[in-house]
């Protein structure tokens, strides 16, 4: 018997919140540190270019990242921060020009990524009819966040992103409550729960609060995650084969990339099905 379905809006896909590596300078391959692990084949300090980064700012092993031990690179998503920093904040300057330029660009990149992630969540919240009671506040928060992304490098580098996120978070919480209130017999609150390796195959998690939950390597095969709140949930190696995430809210591409799924996994409209599934 097929599961009942709820008609849901499609979250607008904003190109400026999608990574455009062709307009970036490989910032994630330079600014961020790597630690030799299951995700990265080598150690790399922050600010040091990855040895696989070519002179044209492209990855030399992009097609083989997973087989060569760099699966972590296939999971990362900058939410469009790379091209924003390179093309807007620094107006085409290259981090290779000087150590000072590089230092400032890398600092701003870390801030911009967080701001764009917040923009992503606010954009999704505004597309949810159930959140209409807070749409006006969400629009103001989105406008404030977008104003911050247009600040100069010095202001961005000194921005207290944690404080801004704390101001926005109550709106996202309220959005979650409004959306999940329409789910009959919704799943219980598992916010921040330690569910590492949990056996949740076939579990009914409809409308569950899984914000910040640790679902690393959890068995979620055929689980029902419709309308669940997954903001900040750690889905690394979570088994989503056959799971239904229709209408799951605040699910990002990075979370999907980090999990394992198959052709039977049902996703919300915005994330794309990873090639490695």
pLDDT for res 3 = 46
Question: Is the Cβ–Cβ distance between 274 and 261 less than 8 Å?
Answer: yes
Closest residue by Cα to residue 168 from 122, 228, 99, 128: 122
When pLDDT is averaged across residues 8-34 and rounded to a whole number, the result is 85
Q: Helix axis angle, 135-149 relative to 99-126, nearest 10°?
A: 170
Taking the whole predicted model, whether its pTM rises above 0.75 is answered as: yes
pLDDT band at 228 (very low <50, low <70, confident <90, very high): very high
Residue 177 has phi, psi (to 5 degrees) of: -65, -40
Partners of 209 in beta bridges: 189, 229
As its CATH architecture, domain 186-277 has: 3 Solenoid (2.160)
- Range 265-276 average pLDDT: 92
Q: What is the mean pLDDT of residues 12-20?
A: 84
* 234-258 average pLDDT score: 97
pLDDT at res. 4: 43
Matching residue, tokens 């919300």:
268
Tokens of 255: 């979370």
Report, as an integer, the average pLDDT of 190-196: 97
For the chain, give the mean pLDDT: 94
Cα–Cα distances in angstroms (integers) from residue 209 to residues 198, 226, 245, in the given order: 16, 11, 13
Domain boundaries, the chain: 17-32+76-180, 186-277
Distance of alpha carbon 273 from alpha carbon 267, whole angstroms:
8
Tell me how many degrees the CA angle 27-274-37 measures, rounded to the nearest 5.
55
* Residue of 12 and 153 predicted with greater confidence: 153
Q: So what's the pLDDT on residue 113? A: 98
- pLDDT for 53 equals 97
pLDDT digits (tens, 9 = 90+) for 197-216: 999 999 999 999 999 999 99
**Six-digit token pair at 171?**
């709106």
């Amino acid at each position: 018997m097929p599961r009942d379905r709820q008609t849901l809006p499609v979250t607008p896909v904003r190109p400026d919140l999608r990574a455009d590596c062709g307009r970036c300078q490989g910032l994630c391959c330079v600014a961020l540190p790597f630690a030799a692990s299951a995700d990265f084949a080598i150690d790399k300090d922050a600010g040091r270019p990855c040895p696989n980064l070519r002179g044209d700012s492209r990855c030399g092993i992009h097609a083989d990242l997973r087989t060569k031990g760099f699966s972590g690179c296939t999971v990362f998503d900058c939410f469009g921060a790379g091209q924003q920093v390179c093309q807007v904040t620094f107006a085409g300057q290259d981090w290779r020009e000087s150590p000072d330029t590089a230092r400032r660009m890398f600092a701003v990149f870390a801030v911009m990524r967080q701001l764009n992630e917040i923009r992503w969540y606010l954009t999704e919240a505004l597309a949810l009819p159930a959140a209409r009671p807070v749409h006006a506040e969400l629009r103001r928060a989105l406008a404030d966040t977008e104003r911050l992304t247009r600040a100069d490098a010095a202001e961005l580098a000194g921005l207290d992103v944690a404080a801004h996120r704390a101001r926005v978070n109550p709106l996202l919480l309220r959005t979650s409550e409004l959306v999940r209130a329409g789910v009959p017999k919704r799943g219980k609150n598992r916010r921040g729960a330690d569910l590492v390796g949990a056996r949740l195959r076939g579990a009914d998690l409809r409308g569950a609060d899984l914000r910040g939950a640790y679902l690393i390597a959890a068995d979620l095969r055929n689980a029902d995650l419709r309308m669940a709140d997954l903001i900040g949930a750690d889905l690394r190696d979570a088994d989503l084969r056959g799971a239904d995430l229709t209408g799951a809210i605040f699910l990002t591409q990075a979370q999907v990339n980090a999990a394992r799924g198959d052709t039977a996994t049902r996703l919300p409209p915005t994330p794309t099905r990873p090639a490695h599934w």
